[in-house]
Structure 1
Amino acid sequence: MGRKKISENVGDEVHGMELAAQKQEEVELSIQRAEELFGDGQPYERLRLETEIKFYMEQMGTSLLEMGKRLIRLKANEGHGGFMQCLENLGVSTRSANYAMSAARKFGSNSQTFANLGSSKIQYLTVLDDEQVEDLVNGDGVLGLGTLDDIEKMSVRELRVALRKEKSERKTERDDLEAVIAAKNSKVDELERELRHQVPPTKEQLAQIELDRIKKELFLPILTATEQFRLAQAAIAKARQIDGVTTEQLEAWVVQYNEQLSILYDEYEQTQDDIQNICPDKSEE
């Protein structure tokens, strides 16, 4: 009985060695196949390949921004219908086009500064506001992310986690700011009551009171829209991570929202123009 156990143990060991040898042979064949198909005639060297990969990642970032600039011009000149036809002719999905245009709007004037981050990081960084982008360009850090050098050292996953944390902190800041605005509105109401019993206020004083009163009407919609867009981005990211999902499924999933996004872009540009060119309305005078 004892001899049988020894024999079984030896057999198991031999079988294990055979499996290990077979696995090693498969690895060697896989390496050989990779070198045959994609080798460049030079010996394998990890550091050299990492350097070359980084170079091509930078090229992807530059390509994304340059593509986005041209897509913006195309859309402006062709209108929505013509633009969609152009995308079909180019074989570019609406999702990819929107990513590229968003990146170009956000980073287009600083293409060389952000290009070396690669296209994936650039896409994630489009959620930053203009002030944060300017801080990065100037070499300053952004809360929760650090400097451009810090972001470059992060993996895409680390950047995604950092952005989520930064988003949570910004929500806290927004809640605090809303509380400040509420307190200021209360102060305005108190001041208004006091003014009623004093010298009649000037038109400018009354105008300032009204401006302070409706400040929240401008501030909250912008913050709410920002929050809703980030929720939409989170939903898109979650959809992309579904096991087994295909590009065709994802594009079909978002296609119904493309026209609405186009309308939102138009509303954004109109609001931006109103803010940049704001002045008293003399039409009723």
Structure 2
Amino acid sequence: MARKPQASVELVEDPKVGSNLSAAQHLLAEHNMMVVKQHGDGLPYDRDRLINEARFYMGTAAEAMLEAGKRLVMIKEIEGHGEFIRICEERLGLSERTARQMMQAALKYLSPELEKHTDKLQHLGKAKLIELLAEDDEDLAALAEGGTLAGLELDDVERMSCRELRKALREAREDKTAQGRVMADKDAKINELSTQLARKPVVEVKPLDEQLQELRLEATAKAGAAEAAIAGALHPAVHLLMEHEVENDQRTFVAGLLAQVEQAIVEIRAEYSIDATPVASAVPAWMRDSADEEIAAALANQQQGA
């Protein structure tokens, strides 16, 4: 028979002795009634009955653990912590840790968020349900619906041992933590770079002569690299080929290589209408030795024309 959706119940402390004892007892009675209503399946609270039922369900598989855990919740809430521990140890043979795990499992897997998936999840067995207690309800629901958890499908979890499952979950948590650190470092680096960029002027325009000087230096470096490649790499390669020349076979091949290099230079000259030999000094006018005389003459001509 399908279980009714149950609201989550928070465990409360036993009332302390004081002037407000009656009010506290009244609140506790109301709380106990709510616990019995939520977990009692319509039956009144009977401690001995619940203990016997808990002992019965403990002898079966995961479903029994959840049913026993549900009854332990009621015993704990109504009997109080001290009496609950005594009942677990003396009448049920349970340690406090085991009892708490059973209660946590019942509250988790029989909650409204997971109750419709309980039938699938309980096939994993008691030990694996305990291992999965720390996982989010949304992730467990996705696992039951055919998704994955820590890269594992439900069939994978069912086939593997508890030790393997514990290792897979631990590694997944470690990976998630590591990814979080990487993302945090990445965000910090982006923020640092953004701050540095914000401190710089939006537009930084260099004087024209500085721009031309940088471009000339870059072009000179490229030309030097090309010349070095021809002299240091192409020339030795041609030399080796010519040492093994048979009639005109190598000369024809080398001629093709050189024509390829020359063609690249010819295309540059044609694109920009550049002469084969320099027709003017590449040194700027203001850097020439005669610059002062030329400037003086130009000023004199300007004054005469005025």
Q: Same fold (TM over 0.5)?
A: no
Larger Rg: 2
TM-score (norm 2): 0.37
User: Which structure shows the higher helix fraction?
Assistant: 1
TM-score (norm 1): 0.39
